[in-house]
Amino acid sequence: MERKRCAAALAVAATAVVTLSQPATAAPSDAAAPGAAEVTNQYIVKFKDGADRADVLRRLGTRFGARLSDARQLGTGARLIRADRNAAGLLQALAASDRVEYAEPDVMLHALSVPNDPEYPAQWHYSEPAGGINGPGAWDVTKGSGVVVAVIDTGRTAHPDLDANTVAGYDFISSASNARDGNGRDSNPQDEGDWNATAGECGPGSEAGDSSWHGTHVAGTIAAVSDNGVGVAGVAPQAKVQHARVLGKCGGALSDITDAIVWASGGSVSGVPANATPARVINMSLGGSGRCTRAYQSAITAAVRRGTTVVVASGNSNADGSGYNPGNCNNVVSVSSLNRAGNRAFYSNFGSTVDIAAPGGEVRRATDAPGTRTTPQDGVLSTLNAGTTTPAGPAYKTYMGTSMAAPHVAGVAALLLSHTPGLTPAQAEAALKDTARPIPGSCPEGCGAGLVDAAAAVR
Ligand SMILES: [Ca+2]
Ligand SMILES: [Ca+2]
Ligand SMILES: [Ca+2]
């Protein structure tokens, strides 16, 4: 959140943590593009004016032991030539003929996988050439099947675009008052709401505000159910989301977050049943100012050793990311945020600790007053809940933040690991960076290796 409660929580450094989004609704973009090619026994041949086509085909047919037929004239003036068998070298010979202008293979083209979800066209962050992650090019190869992504965040809410892709998680919030579910840790990670009825509730400078449903938004970017004719699409729509609830009213304790990291990655935490479906990827769209503490690093290192890739938001302070955890911890993939044009979003952290960039959007311009939504269509559209305090019905909304950028990378990591399951976290990180494309806009301060590219990552 961008409100003052964010600043307050940051001031108490590592003990409390806040989410890294800035509340923000939807606009059009385009989707379809041509796809991969398949060979056929057909050729598109443009003969030179006056050339004896039949003679060319007869001679080459004899030479290659194939029967060549002149099927029809094409709109371009070229002819469609059909061979009765796949003859190696035939195309080259056609092209080399002094009576042929050009000869090219006829190929089968397929539309790239584009989801039918009605709000998909508003998700510019998946497909727009400038600031999108090139999602459609990846979805023909993999949709993330077999990979669990843990969302260490505010927990889950029931949602038609998420329920089918959600596996059992856990509620790690030890404080019953912050958890708002009447107890400490328990097996139900439902997000009970993180609203603040009055200013100052979470310390000096904290403001009143509605519930964010932050974990629901992050989860939707990673793995919203696609092609169900409902709502939005996700980056890895066949991956599963596992909610480890750590953020409640006023944020979350590091001690709860580190336990969630251990558990999500398959490690054991006293008093908590073993995780039946450990995550290959962890997303942490949360953070605070200050160094990476030993406790934090130790939990992350253990997760990475267990083979879990840890993706984190770099922070929303428009500052060097080296001063913000967990982006400044070792062995994490720290993500900066770009706007729709591919420039560094005005709030995004930057610098040498940032590994990679992803779309996080801007629902207002840098010069607009905080809390306004002058450009809601330029934010990241995902799943949400309609409740202002406690959970109500499902909803969709655009948010902006490095919180929204990180789950794009976590989703692409899931696609990558689904396609190449044997990758270590270091290999997965290297692959994400190596296949990122140059930052489309401007980020002189350093936004990492480039803009994450889903299609390039899985090809
Ligand atoms: Ca609880
Ligand atoms: Ca609970
Ligand atoms: Ca959907």
pLDDT digits (tens, 9 = 90+) for 370-408: 889 999 999 999 999 999 999 999 999 999 999 999 999
Tokens of 153: 């965040």
Q: What's the pLDDT score for residue 16?
A: 38
Which one of the ligands is nearest to 224 CA? 3
SS3 for 335?
A: strand
Q: What's the pLDDT score for residue 378?
A: 98
Return the exposure string of 144-175: e unless at least 16 CB atoms fall within 10 Å of the residue's CB, then b: beebbbbbbbbbbbebebbeebbeebbbbbbe
pLDDT digits (tens, 9 = 90+) for 157-170: 999 999 999 999 99
Å from CA of 396 to ligand 3 middle: 11
Are residues 455 and 415 in contact, defined by beta-carbon separation less than 8 angstroms? no
d(CA 6, CA 251): 9
Q: pLDDT averaged over the chain?
A: 91
Å from CA of 183 to ligand 2 middle: 7
pLDDT digits (tens, 9 = 90+) for 310-369: 999 999 999 999 999 999 999 999 999 999 999 999 999 999 999 999 999 999 999 999
Q: Which residues are catalytic?
A: 153, 214, 403
Which one of the ligands is nearest to 381 CA? 3
Cα separations in angstroms, 272 against 27, 167, 174, 276: 43, 16, 12, 12
* CATH 3.40.50.200 domain span(s) along the chain: 4-33+113-457
Q: What's the pLDDT score for residue 107?
A: 77
Asked if CATH classification 3.40.50.2020 holds for the domain at 38-109, the reply, yes or no, is: no
* CATH 3.30.70.80 domain span(s) along the chain: 38-109
Å from CA of 276 to ligand 1 middle: 20
Q: Provide the residues around ligand 1 (an ion) whose CB is within 5 A.
A: 171, 179, 181, 183, 186
Q: What's the pLDDT score for residue 14?
A: 31
pLDDT digits (tens, 9 = 90+) for 123-159: 999 999 999 999 999 999 999 999 999 999 999 999 9
Å from CA of 159 to ligand 3 middle: 10
d(CA 418, CA 149): 11
Whether the per-residue pLDDT at 15 is higher than 80: the answer is no
**Mean of the pLDDT values across residues 19-30?**
40
DSSP at 368: S
Instruction: Give 41's pLDDT tier (boundaries 50, 70, 90).
Output: confident
Å from CA of 86 to ligand 3 middle: 42
Looking at CATH, the fold of the domain delimited by 4-33+113-457 is given as Rossmann fold (3.40.50)
**CB-based contacts of 422-428 (< 8 A; 24+ apart in sequence):** 424/307, 425/304, 425/307, 425/308, 425/309, 425/310, 425/331, 426/304, 426/331, 428/309
Which one of the ligands is nearest to 159 CA? 3
Which one of the ligands is nearest to 154 CA? 2
Q: What is the torsional sign of CA 340, 344, 348, 350? A: positive
Q: What's the pLDDT score for residue 19?
A: 63
Å from CA of 397 to ligand 1 middle: 27
Å from CA of 176 to ligand 1 middle: 6
